[in-house]
Each structure stands twice: as C-alpha cells, then as structure tokens.
Structure 1
Amino acid sequence: MHDLTEILNWRRLSDKITLSGQPTEQQLADISELGVTHVVNLGPHHNKGALDDEAGTVASLGMEYVYIPVEFDNPTDEDFAKFCEAIERLKDTRIHVHCIYNARVSAFFYRYAKTGRGFSECETFALMEGIWRPGDDWAAFIGSDDAVRQPNRYAGEDY
C-alpha cells in the first residue's frame, strides 16, 4: 500500500489506519483505492475547507462514513469516548481518520495510546509533534499539564 502524501498532513499510523487533514473529493477516491472501507471525520462540517457533502461522496465510493464533530476550541471527553468506540468497532478494517488539519486526529490518537489501547505512546506523540504541539484546552485534553498555559504551536512556525 502506498501513501498519499499530497493530502495535507498525511500520516500512516499502521497498516490499517491512515490520518490526514481534509481530503478533497478526488483524494477520497484515492483513499478508497487503498482499500479503505471507513472514513472517520472529526472536523465539523461548518469548518472552512470542509466538503459540502462528504458523507455522500464517501458513500458513493462504497465506504462507510463516521462523523464525530469535535469543536476545536472545546474537545470533550464525550468526543473522545465516541472516537474510542469507533476505533475499537473498526479495528479489523482499513480506516482513514481526518479532520481539517490533522491536529484533532493526531491528539486523539495520542490520548488513545496513552490509555494503553494498542498504539505506541512514543510513536503517536512523535506523529502529533510532527504536526503540532497542543496547548491550552488541547494540552489538558491529552493530559500534558506542563503545556496547559502554552498556546497551540504548529510545526514549522515556532518550534
């Protein structure tokens, strides 16, 4: 299986899970061609850059769409519980998980790994850090108490 590095912040977590920022309709078709059967979207439909009808596009490509809208300024434990349920339900399938930038997704997988659910905490931290370093509410969300009073920082900008 090859990687679709033209998609914003494309990352491969495992042989069954890929992550990214918002794919275009054509990029969703490319994702489907990788054998992905499920697309999980953590980016609310009202975000700038979101597709007009992502659920319809995903369905037309023969994939299942899972929508867990996470407001960037308010990630919740309820959002995380829905995410965990989806990832565990789909563990034997090929899935692609995205949001608008791959900030939400990378933080969710890091927190998921910290709970001992099968991914390396070190590897998911490195994946997240390659995109951003969460501060404020996101630092609290992932349990990074030392960064709670820090701003969110993005790779290539200030670190």
Structure 2
Amino acid sequence: METILNYIKINELISTSGQPKAEQFELIQDQGFEVVINLALYNASNAIENENKVVTDLGMSYFHIPVNFENPKLSDLKLFLNTLQALGGNKVWVHCAKNYRVSAFMYVYHKYILRTPFEQIDLSIFDIWSPSLPWQELMKVNLEDLYKV
C-alpha cells in the first residue's frame, strides 16, 4: 500500500491517498476495501479515465464527490461527512489527486466524528502541502455551522 501516492492509514476501516494508478485499485480491493470515494475533479492531471468502471469492475462501490481545489465548499465537506458516516462498517478508500483535499476533509472527520485527540491525527501530509486560506477556513469549520449549509 505504501507505493500508492501519499498513502495514509486512518484506521482499520479507512485509508486515504493521492490518485492510485489503475492497477493499484486491484491491490486496494485485495486488501478488503469495499468502497472508493474520489474527491478529485474528473479532469485532474493524474485522473484515470473511467475510474468508476475500473473500481466497480473489481466489485467495489464508487462515489465521486468532485471538489474544486481552488474553491472548496462547505457543502462538499458536508456531503463527504454524510457519505462516510452512511457507509458505517464498510472498508473505505478515499482519494483525490494528491491526498490534499482528503486530508483536509479527514481532519474535520477526525475532529467531529471520530473525536480523535489532535496529537493522534496523522498530519504528515501538511509537511508537503500548506493549505491555502479557503482550505484553512474549511478546516476550522464549526460542526453546527456546517449543518446549517
């Protein structure tokens, strides 16, 4: 799994990464993942054409929540959080182009849903990515404000 771009294991049910190569989805499926969530735009520079088909042909479910990297929206975050919560006990792989969008969203998931103590959150991706102001604001969101959206 470590060969997949910017791979991070969140827990036994959730892992994240940048864009996997087409053949790496087979490895993901072999590790028992049942669902793939893609937060990248369909036209990202490293996007896989027909990713939904690649994933579903391997027997996994596929959700695409395209998040504009330059303009992330609270509604994107809310849809992501609701989707991840609805998947419950499924083993889920979440990716975007470089694991930047995902890491920002997962930070909020850790904070409000998993209630992970700050010092236990893997923040290593932020060693290579400094979130812009829109991403910083999104990561500071108050859960009550989020659910007003």
* Alignment TM-score, normalising by the size of structure 2: 0.88
1:132 aligned partner? 129
* Alignment TM-score, normalising by the size of structure 1: 0.83
CA RMSD across the alignment: 1.5
Query: Do the aligned partners of residues 127 and 119 (structure 1) sit closer, same or farther apart at CA in structure 2, a change above 3 Å counting?
Result: farther
Which letter does structure 2 place at the counterpart of 1:19? T
Match of 2:89 among 78, 92, 115: 92
Q: Which has the higher contact order (CA 8 A, sep 6+)?
A: 2
Aligned partner of residue 117 in structure 1, secondary structure:
helix
Which letter does structure 2 place at the counterpart of 1:38? V
| Match status 1:61 vs 2:61 | no
Which letter does structure 1 place at the counterpart of 2:90? T
Query: Do the aligned partners of residues 131 and 110 (structure 1) sit closer, same or farther apart at CA in structure 2, a change above 3 Å counting?
Result: farther
Match of 1:76 among 63, 68, 73: 73
Q: What is the CA-CA distance between 1:134 and the residue it aligns to?
A: 1.3
Percent identity at matched positions? 33
Equivalent-residue separation in structure 1 for 2:70 and 2:37 (angstroms): 20
1:16 aligned partner? 13
Equivalent-residue separation in structure 2 for 1:14 and 1:52 (angstroms): 29
Which letter does structure 1 place at the counterpart of 2:97? I
Equivalent-residue separation in structure 2 for 1:137 and 1:121 (angstroms): 24
Which letter does structure 2 place at the counterpart of 1:97? V
Aligned partner of residue 139 in structure 1, secondary structure:
helix
Q: What is the CA-CA distance between 1:135 and the residue it aligns to?
A: 2.5
Match of 1:44 among 41, 53, 56: 41
Moved over 3 A (4+): none
Which letter does structure 1 place at the counterpart of 2:79? K
1:118 aligned partner? 114
C-alpha distance after superposition, 1:75-131 (max 9, x if no partner):
1011011101111011201000000000000000102222x2114152336244344
2:3 aligned partner? 6
Aligned partner of residue 62 in structure 1, secondary structure:
coil
**Contact 1:42–1:98 (8 Å) recurs in 2:** yes
Equivalent-residue separation in structure 1 for 2:52 and 2:35 (angstroms): 11
Query: Do the aligned partners of residues 132 and 105 (structure 1) sit closer, same or farther apart at CA in structure 2, a change above 3 Å counting?
Result: same
Query: Do the aligned partners of residues 87 and 127 (structure 1) sit closer, same or farther apart at CA in structure 2, a change above 3 Å counting?
Result: farther
**Contact 2:6–2:125 (8 Å) recurs in 1:** no
Number of aligned pairs? 140
